[in-house]
Chains A and B, each alone.
Chain A
Amino acid sequence: MKLIFVEFFKLKMKLRAWLGPILIFLLIIISFPLTVELSSEALNDVFYSILWIASLLTIMVSVESIFLEDYEDGYLEYFYVANNSLFSLIFTKILIYWILIGIPISCLGTFFSINMSDDISSLNIALPSLLISTYIFINLFALGNSLSLNKGSALGALITIPLLFPILILLGKIVLNANFGFEISNLLLLMLGVLLLIIVFIPFIISFIIKTHLE
């Protein structure tokens, strides 16, 4: 529990690391409708795509240096020596990033999607999809960044992008089903299932990769 407070405190005190990405997300969502000449109906059709891409880019930017600072100042080594494992630290870090960045952009995205569609039922599509997908995105980008730790974040993003395609396809299917009035709960459950697997395995894989970097 103390680890959660410490990691929360570390990220909270670094405003640019969590507030910056949220502002980028807002900028994309607000500026897109201003830069294209689309009818509100057409805009409505593409808005969810913008939402998914905006959240993807925001997470990519925010997770860019998730482990780098701790690696450079020796915190990862210190934690490993004290606990003989990095799993709890990685798991907590990802959770805190989701709490401070994933949840706010999910709420903001939902707010904008309700405003855009003038339909409160958008809440049922946008909120769960964004909550689950942002957590998955953070995990996957964290994996990419752990692989390219101290080698630049571009490589990490390149490694991660192919892993994100199935999630983006699934998000597209959710919107398609919702537009045709079909059930979306099965797709959301599928995403939740993917998330549950990722929550357990990705921190484990990342801790192994980072241990290799420390060697």
Chain B
Amino acid sequence: MSNSILLKVDNIGFSINQNRLFHNLSFNLKKGKALHIKGNNGSGKSSLIRILLGITPAGKGSILWNKNTDICFLGHKNVLKNYLTLSDNLYIHGIDSNESKTKDILADLGLIKRLDTIVGNLSYGQQKKLALIRIFLNQAKVIILDEPCVGLDDSTRILTTKFLSSELKKNKSIIYTSHIPIDIDSETITLGGNQV
């Protein structure tokens, strides 16, 4: 596999209870490129992401990641502990809430004064913002996001778009699903019914 290609997907297919979601799906992910997986509800977008991450096995075909490709992933679940404070949640993800970069992001997201708040007392949108901090501070080569903008206000959506654009400029690669438009330069895969 060429060095510029981080992921090579070849003829994969997936079915749930004999309901075929997609078949013969092939694509590549190159360095510094974004891939938008589109489709209606239930078309298999999240399943495809879970297959790419190696969580769910593909029914057939092959998925090849380039060696030493580290991945940062944010799915439907925010990976937050409801009984811990915001700063404690950052700690369990290896993020120091006292670092200036973290403080800047927290300020941008309007969470700087909430560091000692129990996460269970935050709104869904605020929890989503907190989950996004982990993505904003990651060092991985590939970012995979499953509906990252759900529950976010306009300013955070703009911030997320800006962040993703800047990551592409740093030669990082992004795979994402989103019903809410994200204004970044990306290739599109559309899943729908039996057609790809």
Q: Which residues of A contact B (CB under 8 A)?
A: 2, 6, 9-10, 13-14, 69, 72-75, 77-78, 80-82, 84, 214-215
Tell me the bound Cα distance from A56 to B92 in angstroms: 30
Assess the B88–A77 pair: CB atoms within 8 A.
no
A75→B84 CA distance, assembly (Å): 14
By a CB distance below 8 angstroms, the chain A residues around B70 are 82
Residues of B within 8 A of A73 (CB): 77-82
User: Given A73-B78, A78-B73, is A13 in contact with B57 using a C-beta cutoff of 8 Å?
Assistant: no
Pull 29 A–B residue pairs with CB atoms less than 8 Å apart, ordered by A: A2-B94, A9-B88, A9-B92, A13-B81, A69-B81, A72-B77, A73-B78, A73-B80, A73-B82, A74-B75, A74-B76, A74-B77, A75-B79, A75-B81, A77-B55, A77-B75, A77-B79, A78-B73, A80-B55, A81-B54, A81-B55, A81-B73, A82-B70, A82-B71, A214-B55, A214-B56, A215-B55, A215-B56, A215-B57
**B77 near A10 (CB under 8 angstroms)?**
no
B53 interface residue per 8 A CB criterion: yes
With A74-B77, A77-B75, A81-B53 already in contact, the answer to whether A14 and B83 are too (CB < 8 A) is yes
Give the residue of B54, B80, B81, B83 whose beta carbon is less than 8 angstroms from that of A84. Answer: B54
| Bound CA–CA A190/B92 (angstroms) | 38
Alpha-carbon separation in the docked complex, A9 to B87 (Å): 13
A72–B80 CA distance with the chains assembled, in angstroms: 10
Please give the distance in Å from B179's CB to the nearest CB on chain A: 20
Q: Give the distance to chain B from A205, nearest Cβ to Cβ, in Å.
A: 19
Chain A nearest Cβ from B96, distance in angstroms:
12
B contacts with A, residue count (CB < 8 A): 22
A84 / chain B contacts, CB cutoff of 8 Å: 54
Residues of B within 8 A of A214 (CB): 55-56
Cβ of B91 under 8 Å from chain A: yes
Select from chain B the residue with minimum beta-carbon distance to A15: B83
Give the docked Cα–Cα distance between A10 and B89 (Å). 9
From residue A3, how far is it (CB to closest CB) to chain B in Å?
A: 10
Closest partner residue, chain A, to B76 (CB atom) = A74
Cross-chain contact of B92 among A6, A74, A82 (Cβ < 8 A): A6
- A10 and B73 contacting across the interface, CB-CB below 8 Å: no
A9 to B92 alpha-carbon distance, docked (Å):
8
**Nearest-CB distance from A95 to chain B (Å)?**
17
Q: Which residues on the A side are within 8 Å of B57 (C-beta)?
A: 215
B81 touches A10 (CB 8 A): yes
